[in-house]
Amino acid sequence: MSTPANQGKLAERAGMLPAALFVAAFLLVPLGLVVAYSFMPANSFGGVDPGFSTDAYRNVLYEQRLDGSFRLSAAYLLIVWRSIYVAGLTTLIVLAISLPVAIYIARQVPRRRTFLLLMVTIPFWANILIRTFAWILLLRDTGVINGFLTALGVISSPLPLLNTTGAVLVGLVYTFAPFMVLPIYGRMERLQQSQLEAAHDLYANRWQVFRHIVWPAALPGVVAGSLLTFIPCLGSLIAPELLGGGKQMMLGNLIYRQFSEARNWPFGAAIAVLLLVIVALIGLVQVYLARRKFAGKVA
Amino acid sequence: MLDVTHALELDLVRKTYGDPLHGHQALTGASFHVKDNEFFTLLGPSGSGKTTLLRLLAGFESTTSGEIRLYGKPIQSLVAEQRPVNTVFQQYSLFPHMTIAENVGFGLKMQGRPAREVAARVEEMLALVKMEAFRNRRPAQLSGGQQQRVALARALAPKPKVLLLDEPLSALDLKLRQAMRLELKQLQAKTGITFVFVTHDQEEALAMSDRIAVLADGVIQQVGGPREIYDRPANLFVADFIGDNNFLKVEVLSRQGATAMVRGAGIEAVQARDAAQGASQGTLMVRPEALHLSAGEGRVRFAEKARVLADIYLGNALTYVTALPDGTHLNIRDEDARRAAKPIAEGQTVEVWADAEAPMLFDGAGK
Ligand SMILES: Nc1ncnc2c1ncn2[C@@H]1O[C@H](COP(=O)(O)OP(=O)(O)OP(=O)(O)O)[C@@H](O)[C@H]1O
Ligand SMILES: [Mg+2]
């Protein structure tokens, strides 16, 4: 039964084949491997032994004592919590900085807009390691900031700036701000000046124009930017490692260590799966909210 | 002095974009008034400064100099949200994320009116523009004409003292545009709100307005009722811009009071209303429908000989394109000729008569 509609669908499916293969090869296979590893016994020289084991997941919550008994431990949950906390805080700070920046850029004449957008993306031009080391030079005890303050006589001994949660936040905010500015800018650019004028004309003051016109228009960009910031932040590695001095461990560092020094691949894989579940939950919430909004539109 | 408060009074309002000295002067010393409860139209070609003037009234732009008074009170120091005027934008500019009802209620909500009052007024407005059935839709789900109605309802809902409309019909197709003309006019009468309406369509202006201000190059050319503007244009620009016209180069033979005898372009001697300010040469204007192919009461002979070049038949009108002896074209739209059984053949020579009061003499060369 090759009705035209069926043929169309077939052609559509055939057209999707390359994309499907790509996803399978580069996403599903590695992901399957990670999940599989997380359910296998650890080999003490790294890698995994054949077999099935849920030890890795048990280890997330329980600590094995010397006598072999298990005890509830919050050490890893604390890292999960710190990751969510730092990623969330980073997202909020990035949003607070990026929203006015994006609105400002969108209001400029086109030539200036292009220039300012270029400025926003400048951090991308340098390697992330180099950028992070630059922050170390700024923040360390003998660094630029402490040196400057000491020279001015504001402080007598250097402020502990490096290896703090604050330092990690600075690094993350700096890294992810463009990911928030660009999607919000995209929305703001499309917001017509006459919409703002119409709102003013209908007796809205500046705050009301922001609240009722600008913010709703920016919201899809804010959501996109927040996801682009929050999700990579959760698993970020370099900023907590270098700026947090490894003391402010986050999920990314934890996973990294299991595959390197700790040589516990199944545990690393289990943490990675945990991270994936958190991200998937966020994705589900996002889909749910979008659906609800869409339903409201049609009703 | 008459104790009448006008809805709007403009005194020497000037607007220069950019640098005050060297910037673009979009409006030069406009002075006129808009009466209370009037349908007032700003008419002019593209770039003449209509939108600029409207934006000055709305408060989106500030005047370079001059004064604007709304019911006697100067309003230049007020920002847009403080002025009791509302605007219907050319592209409607409805808020895309709000329902139709929320759009219409927006102004009242911003004014802090109680929710029940807002809801009642929204229903009233939706009924006024016959859009009740669409109250829960979004603007993107409406046709252009429907969005237009919503934009009207939204601007009328807060009961503005003056409603400003910037070419609100220009995005609609012809049929809808003509229907909306009548509706707008009725809406204005029903609400009793002063309308300031912007258009570049002279037919629209004539059909709808109580009074019209004609604008060109940032200068107010003439303010008056439709008839006045059509029958007694203040200058050649207005004469040319409004309706069809014949323009003939003439010289003045003699003057007497408000009339002048003129000659030229192959016409012997014709009496004309004199608006040439003493010039010895000028341009004679006469509308095609004021010209006839036969003598009659109140008609004077205009040209002895005109050769028929072509006829343009439009159903409700028949226009003969003729040439005067010197080659100047003269269009004649004679009602009798339209009714005549047989059109006059090409190449034939005719005698032309004019309504006695119709020809008008202007200073300058025209186009
Ligand atoms: N923001 C601005 N900056 C500089 N010049 C402007 C600005 N807005 C308008 N102008 C200029 O002022 C003149 C009048 O413009 P305006 O928009 O008032 O014309 P308009 O009569 O509304 O024309 P249209 O019928 O095409 O809408 C034009 O020459 C225009 O280029
Ligand atoms: Mg305009």
Total number of domains constituting chain A: 2
One domain for residues A112 and A56: no
Strand arrangement of the beta sheet that strand B219-224 belongs to: B85-88, B162-166, B194-199, B39-43, B211-216, B219-224
Interchain CB contact of A212 with B (< 8 Å): yes
One domain for residues A38 and A148: no
| Range in A9-13, B4-8, B144-148, B354-358 with the lowest mean pLDDT | A9-13
Minimal Cα distance from B135: which residue of A? A299
Token pair for A276: 């994936």
Q: What is the pLDDT of residue B122?
A: 96
**Cβ contact (<8 Å) for B111 and A203?**
yes
Strand arrangement of the beta sheet that strand B8-17 belongs to: B24-34, B8-17, B65-70, B73-74
Q: Where are the alpha helices (DSSP H) in A24-109?
A: 29-38, 55-61, 75-106
One domain for residues A118 and A197: yes
> Which residue out of B13, B24, B91, B198 has the highest number of ligand 1 atoms within 8 Å of its CB and is therefore the one to mutate?
B24
Of the bound ligands, which one is closest to the alpha carbon of residue B48? 1
- Write out chain A's pLDDT in tens, 299 residues: 455 656 667 777 788 888 889 888 888 999 999 999 999 998 888 888 888 998 889 888 888 888 888 888 888 889 999 999 999 999 999 999 999 999 999 999 999 999 999 999 888 888 888 988 999 999 988 888 988 999 888 888 888 888 888 999 999 999 999 999 999 999 999 998 899 999 999 999 999 999 999 999 999 999 999 999 999 999 898 888 889 887 778 999 999 999 888 889 999 999 999 999 999 999 899 888 888 876 654 43
One domain for residues A37 and A128: no
CA–CA dist A145, A148 (Å, integer): 5
Token pair for A104: 């400002």
CA–CA dist A249, A39 (Å, integer): 24
Q: What is the pLDDT of residue B264?
A: 83
- Residue B28 near residue B14 (C-beta atoms within 8 A): yes
One domain for residues A110 and A247: yes
One domain for residues A141 and A106: yes
One domain for residues A211 and A83: yes
Q: Which domain holds residue A42?
A: 27-62
One domain for residues A136 and A57: no
ipTM summary value: 0.83
One domain for residues A261 and A134: yes
One domain for residues A151 and A190: yes
What 3-state DSSP class applies to B83? coil
Q: Looking at ligand 1, which residue's alpha carbon is closest to its atom 18?
A: B49
Token pair for B256: 């007497």
Minimal Cα distance from B107: which residue of A? A202
For residue B367, pLDDT beyond 70: no
Helix axes A75-106, A215-234, angle to 10 degrees: 140
Strand partners, B220: B215
d(CA B61, nearest CA chain A) in Å: 11
Confidence of residue B3 (pLDDT cuts 50, 70, 90): low
Looking at the domain assignment, is residue A18 inside a domain?
no
One domain for residues A200 and A57: no
Confidence of residue B100 (pLDDT cuts 50, 70, 90): very high
Range B167-196 average pLDDT = 88
One domain for residues A50 and A172: no
**Cβ contact (<8 Å) for B93 and A203?**
no
Q: What is the pLDDT of residue A123?
A: 80
- Residue A202 near residue B110 (C-beta atoms within 8 A): yes
Q: What is the pLDDT of residue A298?
A: 43
Burial A52-63 (b: 16+ CB within 10 A, else e): eeebbbebbeee
- Residue B352 near residue B292 (C-beta atoms within 8 A): yes
Chain B residue numbers touching A197 (CB-CB < 8 A):
58, 60, 80, 87, 89, 93
Looking at the domain assignment, is residue A229 inside a domain?
yes
Q: Report the sign of the C-alpha dihedral through residues B140, B143, B144, B149, in that order.
A: negative
Instruction: Answer yes or no: is the C-beta of B46 below 6 A from any ligand 1 atom.
Output: yes
Tell me the whole-structure pTM to 2 decimals.
0.81
Q: What is the pLDDT of residue B251?
A: 85
Instruction: Answer yes or no: is the C-beta of B27 below 6 A from any ligand 1 atom.
Output: no
A161 or B278: whose pLDDT is higher? A161
- C-alpha dist (Å) from residue B32 to B26, B62, B191, B270: 17, 18, 24, 35
Range B251-268 average pLDDT = 83
Looking at the domain assignment, is residue A203 inside a domain?
yes
Q: What is the pLDDT of residue A5?
A: 59
Q: What is the pLDDT of residue A61?
A: 87
Looking at the domain assignment, is residue A33 inside a domain?
yes
Looking at the domain assignment, is residue A286 inside a domain?
no
**Cβ contact (<8 Å) for A217 and B97?**
yes
Tell me what the pLDDT averaged over chain B comes to.
Answer: 89
Looking at the domain assignment, is residue A230 inside a domain?
yes
For residue B1, pLDDT beyond 60: no
Looking at the domain assignment, is residue A261 inside a domain?
yes
- C-alpha dist (Å) from residue B44 to A131, B107, B292: 59, 30, 30
CATH of the domain at A197: 1.10.3720.10
For A292, phi and psi rounded to 5 degrees? -60, -40
- Residue B63 near residue B56 (C-beta atoms within 8 A): yes
Q: What is the pLDDT of residue A295?
A: 60
Closest CA to B354 of B297, B310, B301: B301
Q: Which long-range contacts (C-beta less than 8 Å, at least 24 apart) are formed by A86-90?
A: A86/A165, A86/A168, A86/A169, A86/A172, A86/A233, A86/A240, A86/A248, A86/A250, A87/A172, A87/A229, A87/A230, A87/A231, A87/A233, A87/A234, A87/A236, A88/A230, A89/A169, A90/A169, A90/A172, A90/A173, A90/A176, A90/A229, A90/A230, A90/A233
Q: What is the pLDDT of residue A39?
A: 93
Looking at the domain assignment, is residue A276 inside a domain?
no
Residues in contact with B97: Cβ distance below 8 Å, sequence separation at least 6, in sequence order: A216, A217, B138
